[in-house]
Amino acid sequence: MHMALTEEQQMIQDMARKFAQTELEPVAAELDHTGGREILLENLKKLAELGFMGLNVKAEYGGTEAGVVAFSLAMTEIARACASTAVTMSVTNMVAEVIQVVGNEAQRQKYIPKICSGEYAAGSFCLSEANAGSDPSAMRTSAVRDGDDWIINGAKQWISSAEYAGVFVVWAVTDKNAPKGKGISCFLVDADNPGVKISKAEDKMGQKASATNEVLFDNCRVPDSAVMGKLNDGFRIAVAELAGGRIGIGSLALGIGSAAMDYAARYTKERQQFNQPLSNFQGLQWMMADHYTELEAARLLLMNAAWKKEQGLPFAKEASMAKLYASEKANTACYSALQLMGGNGYVKEYPLERFARDVRVTSIYEGTSEIQRVIIAREILRELD
């Protein structure tokens, strides 16, 4: 892997950093406090206009065609300012990518340009259920053929951006007699389908401006043309796309952790105790040294996973390693950064308590840390055969 960024990757990183600093950072606290849906949607539209909703999508479908490394870099910069905006951007990019990879040409032409242009504020994945989170193969949502259509019934849980998504990628059991995980298919469902019901947004600990909803499918009728990929091959699609999504969430975690440490480190240079800046104390210096080292290691793991995906190489193990390490080290970095600021870190006048709340879920969604360890171990053992 060549470590230096290309001119295009550097340009995208710089553009994302500038947008984050000028457009997102000034409103991040307001979004956290009020939900700020209008502001969020306005910024999502701006991101789409800059090309950030299809970073790894071909230009013929309206994408930027900048690649996975550029996507990771942009995600990190956006997350430094607003995690709610970043998670929406990550999932929406995933939706565009899975349609590009698995969908037929008609599906690509219908949906991807609307995602990349911002005509759709977001896209959503409907995979998890109340009893099928870490084990999505246990899902109960079903799709039954009815003539030339399919009727989908079931409930999906913890769906990001459901309230303002334009299209849902939905997984449902289409062969209840097949072995577990083998009879699942993937559907594209328009948000305005009368069989789609969106429940009230969850009241979450963090990332409050990003809506997370239960999505109900009540006799949701879709045409046979809504099936994406091969029938009963949906679980394989889900597994493959979750691996790519872990690069996005790992990058998001890195951005939050880096922002927290930068803010706290600057604070220690200004705050004085015992007639000297806090930054003079070796104990605090060592805390900063450890966390900055860990965050740099996370960045390198993410770049390696992103580069492998971009090159068409196997990357599932590397993506899980990167997501596991980045999310856990970002969590500890945020809590240590809050500690460096003492009492001020605990009050909402400063962003540290928001960073600590926003980062917590990164070791849960897109596959918990425990699941990442299972995947990593499985891949290591398989390679040793």
Residue 379: active-site member:
no
Task: Determine the CATH number of domain 7-120.
Answer: 1.10.540.10
The tokens of 50 are what?
């800059």
299 falls in which pLDDT band (50, 70, 90)? very high
CATH architecture of 125-232: Beta Barrel (2.40)
| Helix ranges, 181-275 (H) | 234-270
Active-site residue among 60, 366, 370, 379? Answer: 366
As a whole number of angstroms, the distance between CA 92 and CA 187 comes to 16
pLDDT above 70 (res 81): yes
Could you tell me the sign of the dihedral formed by the alpha carbons of 22, 26, 30, 32, in that order? Answer: positive
Q: List, for residues 109-135, the tens digit of each pLDDT value.
A: 999 999 999 999 999 999 999 988 888
Beta bridge partners of 155: 216
Q: List, for residues 266-293, the tens digit of each pLDDT value.
A: 999 999 889 999 999 999 999 999 999 9
Other Cβ atoms within 10 Å of 151 Cβ, number: 18
Residues 6+ apart with CB under 8 A from 79: 86, 251, 252, 253, 254, 255, 256, 259
As a whole number of angstroms, the distance between CA 187 and CA 227 comes to 5
Could you tell me the sign of the dihedral formed by the alpha carbons of 98, 99, 101, 102, in that order? Answer: positive
pTM of full prediction above 0.85: yes
Determine the topology of domain 236-383 in CATH. Butyryl-CoA Dehydrogenase, subunit A; domain 3 (1.20.140)
Q: Which of 128-132, 134-138, 372-376 has the highest mean pLDDT?
A: 372-376
- Per cent of the chain over pLDDT 90 is 90
Q: List, for residues 305-332, the tens digit of each pLDDT value.
A: 999 999 999 999 999 999 999 999 999 9
Whether the domain at 125-232 and the domain at 236-383 fall into the same CATH topology:
no
As a whole number of angstroms, the distance between CA 134 and CA 143 comes to 21
Query: Are the C-beta atoms of residues 353 and 29 closer than 8 Å to each other?
Result: no
pLDDT above 70 (res 233): yes
Q: Which among 76, 120, 135, 115 has a CA at the least distance from the CA of 256?
A: 76
The tokens of 356 are what?
């600590």
What is the average pLDDT value for the chain, to the nearest integer? Answer: 95
Cβ-in-10-Å burial (0-12, 13-18, 19+) of 252 comes to buried
pLDDT of residue 1: 63
Domain boundaries, the chain: 7-120, 125-232, 236-383
- Per cent of the chain over pLDDT 70 is 99
382 falls in which pLDDT band (50, 70, 90)? very high
Measured in degrees and rounded to the nearest 5, phi and psi for residue 132 equal -145, 70
